[in-house]
Amino acid sequence: MLAGSILQRLVQSRDKEASGRTPLNFGVYYKNTLVALCHALEDAVLATQTSPLIVTAFQKGKWYLQEAERYKDLAATADKIVIMAVPDSGFRAHETSQQDNVSLVDIDADDPVSEEWHLMIMGSSYSAMVLCQELTEEEYGPGGLPENDLERKFYGFWTFDPKLVSQTISIAANHIGRYDKALKQDLRDRLKRIDAGASSKTGEVGNVVMRVVDYLQGGDRQIKPNESFQFAGALSQNLESNELQAYLRMAQLADLADPSNPLGAAEVASLSELMGQFLDLPVWQMQRLRLASLLHRIAPAQFDPQMVEEEGDHCPLNPGAQTLRILPRLRAVAQIIAHQHEWWNGEGQPAGLKGDGIPVESRVLGLVADFQHEVARLRYEAEGHDGEKGEIKADSQADLQKEIEERAPDAENEWQHVTDAFAACKAQAGDRWDPKLLEVLGFLVSGLQQGLSLPTIPLRMMMSAGLLNSEVADAWPEMTISTSAPSK
C-alpha cells in the first residue's frame, strides 16, 4: 500500500484501534469491474432519492471529465460532493464543477491519492464505498502494463458498512485539509449530522445489490464479444466474482444491523459445514450449503398461499430470496433457503414437504440456524441488553474469537445457553426436525461444551475462498420441488 494513502491510513487506524466490525475483504479489481460497480452505487443515489455526502478520488482530472455529466445529475440530489484529482485541461471548466455543492480539490501529482480510486457515499438511509489503489508497474509482473485501459488493475475493497464509510470519510477530510482547511471542517460538520448507525441503512441495500448485479452482468455482456481485450476471460471472471460479493456484503450488513446476533451468518455457516462433514456430503452440496448459510438472513422464506397458486410448481419465495435468483448460479441456493422452514412431519412452509422429501441442505440449515439463533437470544438476554457487547470489533480471527468469548458473562453461562438451545431443538424431534440430524447436532454440542463458544469461520475467508466457481455451479443438480403438500 502506498505510504500516506487514504487506504493505508484506514488500515493503520483499524490496526491500532480495532475500530470496525466489518473485515476489510481485499481483492484485485480490473478497471472495467470498478466502472460497473461505481456506476451502480452512484445511480443508486438517484434511485433511492437520498441526499448523501459523496467524496471521490478520480486520480486525474481527465477521468473525472468522462463522468462529469453523471456527477451533474448526482449534484442535483446530493448534500455535498467533493472530488479529488490531479487537475488536467478542463478540470474546472465543466459546468458540474460550478455547482454550489460541488468542491474540486487539486491534489499534487506526487500525492499518493493520485494513484487511488475512491467512491464514498454516506447518507442517512444508504451508504456504500469503493476504496482502491492502482497496482504499480512492478506489481503487474512480467506481462507489464495492459494495453487496454479497462484492463488496468486496482487493489482494495468495497462495502456497505456505514460506520466504515464514515471512518474513511473522516480520514479523507484530514487529507483534504492540507489543501483546503475550510473544506475539511465542512466535511467534518456534515459527517456529524449523518446517522452512522448500521440499523438505519439496511432498507435500501437489497435494491442496490440488484442494481450492482445488473450493472456487472451488463459489463460482462460487453466483454465477451469484444476481441480487443487481451484478458477477456479474467475480466469476465472478475465481474462474476463481484456479483456474488454483493450478496455476501448484504448478508454482512444484515448481521451488523442485529446487535443481538451480530455473528449469525458466520456461526451458522461454520456449524453447517461441520454438520455437512459429519454427513459426508459431496463437495457441490457443501458449497451451496455454505453459501445458503451465509445468505440465509437476507432472504428468509415466507409462505404466501396466493403466490403458491400463481407460481404453480415453482418455489414460492419472498422478494429477498427472489433477489438471489437474479444470479443463475444462486437459484439452487435460494431454494435451500426457501425450504429451511419445512417440518419433518410435513406441517412446515412453504411447500409442506415431509421427511426425506425436504432437501438435506434445507434440513441442515433450518436446524442449525434455529439452534444458533436460540443460543444468541439466550446470550443476549443474559447480557441484559447493555448495548456495549452488541458490537463486535475485530479485524483478525484471533481478535474475533477473543471477543466472542468475552461476550458471555462466564463459561458456565455459555455452556448453559448451548445446552438449553439444544434441548429446545430436541424437544421437536420427529415433528419439526429430522431425528438423524439432531443426533449429529448432539455430537457437535458435546464438542461445543468443551470449547464453550460457537465456532466461527470469518467472512473474510469466505469471501476469498472461491465459494462458487463456474465448474462447481455447473455440476449442481437442479432442484425441482413441488409446492403441493404431501399426504400424511
Do residues 273 and 225 both lie within one domain? no
Q: Specify the pLDDT at position 450.
A: 72
Structural domain including 228 reads: 6-256
**Strands laid side by side in the 127-134 sheet:** 27-30, 153-159, 127-134, 116-122, 53-60, 80-86, 102-106
Q: Are 393 and 19 contacting, i.e. CB atoms less than 8 angstroms apart?
A: yes
Distance CA 466, CA 238 (A): 12
Do residues 66 and 125 both lie within one domain? yes
Would you say residue 484 lies in a domain?
Answer: no
Would you say residue 480 lies in a domain?
Answer: no
- Determine the Cα angle at 487 with ends 481 and 488, to 5°: 120
Do residues 292 and 228 both lie within one domain? no
Q: Specify the pLDDT at position 16.
A: 63
Residue where a domain stops, chosen among 256, 278, 303: 256
- Pick left, alpha or beta for residue 398 (phi over 0 → left; psi -120 to 50 → alpha; otherwise beta): alpha
Would you say residue 449 lies in a domain?
Answer: yes
Would you say residue 103 lies in a domain?
Answer: yes
Do residues 313 and 287 both lie within one domain? yes
Say which CATH number the domain at 362 has: 1.10.3210
Would you say residue 73 lies in a domain?
Answer: yes
Do residues 186 and 301 both lie within one domain? no
Do residues 327 and 409 both lie within one domain? yes
Q: Specify the pLDDT at position 409.
A: 45
Q: Specify the pLDDT at position 315.
A: 46
Total domains present in the chain: 2
> What would the 3-class secondary structure string for the chain be?
CCCCCHHHHHHHHHHHHCCCCCCCCCEEEEHHHHHHHHHHHHHHHHHHCCCCEEEEEEEEHHHHHHHHHHHHHHHCCCCEEEEEEECCCCCCCCHHHHCCCEEEEECCCCCHHHHEEEEEEECCCCEEEEEEEECCHHHHCCCCCCCCHHHCEEEEEEECCHHHHHHHHHHHHHHHCCCCHHHHHHHHHHHHCCCCCHHHHCCCHHHHHHHHHHHHHHHHHHHCCCCCCCCHHHHHHHHHHHHHHHHHHHHHHHHHCCCCCCCHHHHHHHHHHHHHHHHCCCHHHHHHHHHHHHHCCCCCCCCCHHHHHHHCCCCCCCHHHHHHHCCHHHHHHHHHHHHHHCCCCCCCCCCCCCHHHCCHHHHHHHHHHHHHHHHHHHHHHHCCCCCHHHCCCCCCHHHHHHHHHHHCCCHHHHHHHHHHHHHHHHCCECCCECHHHHHHHHHHHHHHHHHCCCCCCCHHHHHCCCCCCHHHHHHCCCCCCCCCCCCC
Do residues 311 and 191 both lie within one domain? no
Q: Specify the pLDDT at position 323.
A: 65
Its sign, for the CA torsion 233, 235, 241, 243, is: negative
Do residues 228 and 377 both lie within one domain? no
CA-nearest of 9, 8, 23, 12 to 399 is 23
Q: Are 154 and 135 contacting, i.e. CB atoms less than 8 angstroms apart?
A: yes
Q: Specify the pLDDT at position 229.
A: 46
Do residues 286 and 329 both lie within one domain? yes
Residue where a domain stops, chosen among 233, 256, 279: 256
Residue where a domain stops, chosen among 256, 284, 314: 256
Q: Specify the pLDDT at position 307.
A: 38
Do residues 379 and 355 both lie within one domain? yes
Do residues 271 and 222 both lie within one domain? no
Would you say residue 283 lies in a domain?
Answer: yes
Distance CA 192, CA 80 (A): 14
Would you say residue 130 lies in a domain?
Answer: yes
Mean pLDDT by 10 residues, the chain (488 residues): 91 68 76 89 87 93 89 94 88 88 94 94 90 88 74 88 92 96 96 69 70 73 50 60 77 78 88 92 92 80 39 44 68 88 93 94 96 91 59 50 51 79 95 96 83 58 40 37 32
- Cell triple for 186: 465542512
Do residues 271 and 179 both lie within one domain? no
Q: Specify the pLDDT at position 397.
A: 45
Would you say residue 488 lies in a domain?
Answer: no
